[in-house]
Amino acid sequence: MKGKRGRTFFISYGENLECPTTEATKTAISDYCEKEKLQYFFGGITAHGNNLVEIDGRLYEAIREKDAGANTWRIRCKEY
């Protein structure tokens, strides 16, 4: 929907990785949700190869990206 601003938040992998795998992404999301006591469910992969995850009833695309400022990888969870 044009003009709609979705929710976005970031999750750290917690370690320096060369390039995070899909499994590393799922593990980081699971660890974050369990720590924050959030319900979550993995729902597949997008056409771009990103995980889809439902967190507390909202669907997010989990985008792996390099945080250039910190020179580490992170996950950008963008409402889908």
Domain assignment present for residue 40? The answer is: yes
Domain assignment present for residue 18? The answer is: no
Domain assignment present for residue 10? The answer is: no
Domain assignment present for residue 47? The answer is: yes
Q: Residue 2: what pLDDT? A: 41
Total domain count for the chain?
1
Q: Residue 1: what pLDDT? A: 33
Nearest-angstrom CA–CA distance, 51 and 44: 6
Task: For residue 60, count other CB atoms closer than 10 A to its CB.
Answer: 25
Domain assignment present for residue 31? The answer is: yes
Domain assignment present for residue 39? The answer is: yes
Segment-wise mean pLDDT, segments of 10 residues, the chain, 80 residues? 68 80 93 97 93 96 89 92
Domain that holds residue 43: 23-69
